[in-house]
Structure 1
Amino acid sequence: MVTRRPNAVIAISIVLAGAILAIAVWLLAQMREDALRRAQDAVFNVSLLVERDVSRNLEIYDLSLRAVIDGLRHPGVLELPPVIRQMVLFDGSIGAKDMGSVFVLDKNGNVRFDSRSVEPRPLNFAGRDFFKVQRDSPNVGLFISHPFSPGGSGTEKDQDKDQDKDMRIALSRRISQPDGSFGGVVVGTMRLTYFRHLFDGMKLGPSGSMALMLSDGTMLMRRPYDPKTIGINLTGTANYSRFIRQPNGDFFGTAAIDGVERWYAFSHIDIYPLILDVALSTGDIYVEWRRRAWIIGTLIAGLDVTIIALAILFSYQLRRRREAEEELRELARTDGLTGLNNRRAFEEEVNEEWRRAQRNGWPLSLLLIDVDYFKGFNDLYGHSAGDEALIGVARCITQNVRRPGDTAARYGGEEFAVLLPDTGAAGAQRIAEQIRTAVQALECRHVASTHHVLTVSVGAATAHGPLIETSRALINAADEALYRAKDAGRNRVQLYRAAEGAPADGAVVTPDTQGPGTH
């Protein structure tokens, strides 16, 4: 089936290439989803790790502030010597890395006790937000302040000369009197370098980001680090609007700070007024997938092109093979000299037309044509001239047998045959005479003939009814009519009458007489 339809090979190859491409696209889509899923898992793990670390350290610091408040409430602590009192109020965790000073402030904001000095430094924090909030709201609990630089306030100073690294936040709790009135504040500071070092230890790719902000949108720390972003407020940005809608979540968004598209995972840290977001750049998420997709896509494209190219080449070869087979088949059915059908092909046509005539009740006529005295022509003029003579006779036959259903053939050496479907005896006689006249009109010199030119004798037979019962009988009848034409002097048409088994009266047509008939 495929060899008979070369175009089907190309169609099948295109379907196959399309199927391979579809499978590749599906696999690449799955790989893309897997890349995003792995990135999301990594972000969730990083977010959980950071959230737990921040929450634990804030809790420890908060416990230290609570311990100071509890110590102040104990009646004997204030009576202790200053050095002992310092050790009782302020535990060792306060001196940890990135932790600043812890102060006990009175109700006016003055420092009563200082974790860094037995003799309190003369500082006043009445203007700070961590003092005002605790003073004005008795139920705030732990308050986390906005970032500030101690060096710019004239208060506590660090030995570090890099002011950016000395940016801090303050954690404060209210000290209430027994009657519930405001008695002061316990406040501890924390360097923002703690968050910076924590963020720097996480692997987020070249364009990943991480940010910690207050619930009101104030930025505390961001990676990649830029000191200009510390303290800015993100209220009104698209990402912040999503952060405050729910306790945690994830989404694709574009950062307002740098305009990079990222996938964000965010959460609110426990009971603290803090929001943590961890984000991976979509470029970083899919960079490895893009590389693999490019490789796979190139291979699949090459494979598809190869399949289709091979199919086209194979189809071309099949088409050439089919053309060659058709040519061979035609050569097998064609006489090499005259270009007419050969005897085998003619007999197949006779059998086919016989069956068709029997089914439809049509008449079927057959002509057998023999070149007169052809052996003498060959002996006198040579075989080359004889071949030319046969070609001329074949040309005369084809010029007078023009209907698509008619068939002409070289039946033997100098003998030709013509099959005329749906043609009665009169039509057959007319066609036969036209052929005989055309051959004689060639005026091919033949001195060995009684007519001195090349001529033919024609025997015609028509089957219409039960008198000629087989295709072989039709051929035999035409052959008998041809024999009688030659016996009657050649260069004539002889019709066969099936009813009498002999030629019809007046059926002999000589050069001087021509019978009527239609075709």
Structure 2
Amino acid sequence: MTIRESSGLKGAFATLARQTSTPVVVIVGGLIAALVMVGLCALVLYEGRLDALERARSTSGNLALIAERDIERNFELYELSLQAVVDGMNRNDVMALPPRLRNDVLFDRAANAKYLGSVLVLDEAGNIVMDSADVKPRRGSFADRPYFTVQRDHPETGLYISDPYASRLRGGAASIALSRRLSHPDGSFAGVVMIAVNLDYFRNLFAGLSLGTHGAVSLITQRGIMVMRQPYDTHIIGRDISQAETFRRFRAEPQGSFSETASIDGVRRLYYFRNFPSLPLVIMVAEAEQDVYADWRRRAITIGSLMAIFALVFVGLSVMLAAQLRLRIRAEAELAVLARTDALTGLHNRRSLGDILEDEWRRASRTHTPFALLFLDIDRFKAFNDAYGHQAGDAALASVAHCIADNIRRPADKAARYGGEEFVVLLPDTSPAGAALVAEKIRAAISELPIEHGGSEYRRLTASIGLAHWRPGDNADVSALMRAADDALYTAKARGRNVVVTAIALD
């Protein structure tokens, strides 16, 4: 057992171990604070993401509503024009007018509107019988067109909006047709009135909507046929998307919003759709998620990076503070140890001896256990110092302290340097025989040290020991125990030194 491992130091280092938990608390606290800050930042950024999504949904809804109202307003005018032709053809006075005047009354210059083709009246065989473009109808049969066959085969159809087709009269211009049925007085099929709408109307309308780099807007029939899509692609116009998952969701509700990957181009978008209340059409406005979150992503990267740096700096400062606290606590603990420890021998000093002696005495008195005390003095130490010098004297004191520490092994046993070459050993709960055995071991260990002492009777370094013992029931106090051990030490000196003498009784 080394000097630093003596029982007197164990308590001090245990205290140090407990105190070192404080820096750990600082580090953990710093980590928790950093995590809380990062968590709050993440929550704010998440709320910002939701706000960006909600703004995009609101914008898409407004754009869809604007486009829907424009289309409905124009289609209402087109339908009124068709109905005017139907009503006019049922009036004999109108049909009896000269051809040019009749055309002016029936068509009311509707065909002159932008994006509109001619208004045609087809007979029951699908041939043109009246043409808003000229008094003399152009030649052509359209009995194969769905806008004709549907009206012929389904009298209840009303206004019919066709799928996109290439116009035969206008050089293949992409168009859709609006048609109404003509009936004889008996209700039989008499033909069709139709008006062609150039798809450039929808293309220009959608081109004016700001949807970001990867946004899209589409007009789809309720049968799932693509009427127009922006960005424009001729290969997409007229495509059947009725089996696409997105279209199924369009038809499931009057209007709504959802995120989905487009089957056309593979871009994930936020879709907003509306089913027209009075037309068999669906309008869809879709902003790409990368555009929806573009501004938010830039802010999130900036704010998140700054917060991450701040959190790392905060944790780093916590670690530095913990390191400084650790150093300070260690220094304070070492100072506390030094304040209670003899610097030369590593044993308790005289100051701490008083506290230890007082505590052990009260414990012995309370528990009624025996208590022993050894007083040790190095023989003729002044002569040793004079002969060999103070450096050798200090080395001799350290060696004696080693001998004492090596021979008291119980945690309760304590040893202290009393002053100069004097030492005190406390042996709580120790019988007289046990205390005498410890004292003899210490004396023998010192005597066996290979330290020459020419001024000693034994020609080597030796020590004398006085032993005093207190038994439960004795009336003596701790001062009496100290005096008895000191008197026994003087007796040992008088008997020739290098011996252990036990006090007979306490005064």
Give TM-score scaled by structure 1 length.
0.88
In structure 2, do the counterparts of structure 1 residues 127 and 493 end up closer, same or farther at CA, with 3 Å as the change threshold? closer
Query: Which AA in structure 1 matches 2:82?
Result: L
- On the 8 A contact 2:164/2:175 being kept in 1, the answer is yes
Equivalent-residue separation in structure 2 for 1:340 and 1:3 (angstroms): 24
Aligned match for 2:166, one of 149, 154, 164: 149
Distance 1:466 1:91, change over 3 A: same
Q: Does 1:239 find its partner at 2:252?
A: no
Which residue number in structure 2 is paired with residue 325 of structure 1?
332
Residue 469 of structure 1, CA deviation = 4.2
Pairing 1:37-56 to 2, within 5 Å after superposition: 37-56=54-73
Task: Give the Cα separation in 1 of the matches to 2:176 and 2:435.
Answer: 120
Q: Percent identity?
A: 47
1:108 equivalent among 94, 106, 125: 125
What's the CA shift for 1:58? 0.4
CA distance in 1, matches of 2:225, 2:491: 124
Moved more, 92-101 or 52-61: 92-101
Could you tell me whether the CA contact under 8 Å between 1:50 and 1:198 is conserved in 2? yes
Quote the Cα distance in structure 2 between the aligned partners of 1:345 and 1:8.
31
Does residue 117 (structure 1) correspond to residue 140 (structure 2)? The answer is no
From 172, 175, 181, the counterpart of 1:168: 175
Contact 1:445 1:452 in 2 (8 A): yes
Matches within 5 A, 1:286-365: 286-365=293-372
**Residues 461 and 440 from structure 1, CA distance in 2 versus in 1: closer, same or farther, beyond 3 angstroms?**
same
Q: Which has the higher contact order (CA 8 A, sep 6+)?
A: 2
Partner of 2:465: 458
Q: What runs of 5+ residues in structure 2 fail to find an aligned partner?
A: 1-17
Check whether the contact 1:340–1:409 (CA below 8 A) recurs between aligned residues: yes
- Whether 1:135 and 2:152 are equivalent positions in the alignment is yes
How much does 1:192 deviate? 0.4
Comparing 48-57 and 120-129, the one that deviates more = 120-129
Deviation at 1:202? Answer: 0.6
* Structure 1 position 359, deviation (Å): 2.6
Cα deviation code 1:353-374 (max 9, x no counterpart): 2222223222111111122332
Spell out the pairing of 1:488-499 with structure 2 (5 A cutoff). 488-498=495-505
- CA deviations 1:372-426 (Å, max 9, x no partner) are 3323333344323332332333233223223332212210112111111111222
1:25 counterpart = 2:38: no
| Paired position in structure 2 for 1:437 | 444
Match of 1:484 in 2: 491
Question: For residues 367 and 101 of structure 1, do their structure 2 counterparts lie closer, same or farther at Cα, with a shift above 3 Å needed?
Answer: same
2:399 aligned residue (383, 392, 395): 392
Name the SS for the 2:59 alignment partner. helix
1:84 corresponds in structure 2 to 101
Instruction: Tell me what 1:516 maps to.
Output: none
Displacement of 1:32: 1.6
Give the distance between the partners of 2:19 and 2:115, measured in 1 at CA: 80
Q: Kindly indicate whether residue 90 of structure 2 is the aligned counterpart of residue 73 of structure 1.
A: yes
Q: How far is 1:201 from its partner?
A: 0.7
Superposed displacement of residue 27, structure 1: 1.8
Partner of 2:193 in structure 1? 186
Contact 2:19–2:329 (CA under 8 A) maintained in structure 1: no
Q: CA deviation at 1:199?
A: 0.8
Query: Secondary structure at 1:244's aligned position in 2?
Result: helix
**What is the one-letter code of the residue matched to 2:256?**
G
What is the SS of the residue equivalent to 1:77? helix
Judging changes above 3 Å, is the alpha-carbon distance between structure 1 residues 218 and 424 closer, same or farther for their aligned structure 2 residues? same
Deviating more after overlay: 37-46 vs 355-364: 355-364
Q: Could you say what secondary structure the match of 1:234 adopts?
A: coil
Letter of the 2:33 partner, please give it: L
Give the distance between the partners of 1:459 and 1:268, measured in 2 at CA: 110
SS in 2 for 1:76: helix
CA drift at 1:444: 4.3
Corresponding residue for residue 507 of structure 1: none
Cα distance, 1:368–1:147 mapped onto 2, change above 3 Å: same
Q: CA deviation at 1:197?
A: 0.5
Matched-pair contact (CA < 8 Å) for 1:459–1:481 = yes
1:6 aligns with 2:23: yes
RMSD (Å) for aligned C-alpha atoms: 2.2
**2:390 pairs with 1:377:** no
Question: 1:241: how far off?
Answer: 2.1
| Cα distance, 1:468–1:213 mapped onto 2, change above 3 Å | same
State the shift of 1:52 in Å: 0.8
In the alignment, the residues of structure 1 paired with residue 67 and residue 293 of structure 2 have an alpha-carbon distance, to the nearest angstrom, of 24
1:61–1:94 CA contact under 8 A, matched in 2: no
1:40, distance to aligned residue in structure 2 (A): 0.6
Say which is worse superposed, 53-62 or 105-114, in terms of deviation: 105-114
- Of 438-447 and 107-116, deviating more is 438-447
Match of residue 211 from structure 1: 218
**Structure-2 separation of matches of 1:19 and 1:464:** 63
Question: Cα–Cα, structure 1 residues 288 and 471, in superposed 2: closer, same or farther, change >3 Å?
Answer: farther
Ranges of 4+ aligned residues in structure 1 off by more than 6 Å: none
Length, aligned pairs only: 490
1:230 deviates by: 1.3
Please give the secondary structure, in 2, of the residue aligned with 1:276.
Answer: strand
| 1:451-479 residue CA offsets vs partner (Å, 9 max, x unmatched) | 55433222111112242543333222212
Tell me, in whole angstroms, the C-alpha distance in 2 between the residues paired with 1:426 and 1:114: 138
Residues 468, 474 of structure 1: 8 Å contact kept: no
Using the alignment, how far apart are the partners of 2:248 and 2:111 within structure 1? 36
**Superposed displacement of residue 447, structure 1:** 4.5
Higher deviation after alignment, 390-399 or 206-215: 390-399
Change in Cα spacing, 1:157 to 1:336, as seen in structure 2 (3 Å) is closer
Contact 1:113–1:120 under 8 Å retained in 2: yes
* Cα contact 2:111–2:133 (8 A) shared by 1: no
Given that 2:57 and 2:257 are in contact with CA atoms closer than 8 Å, whether structure 1 keeps it comes out as no
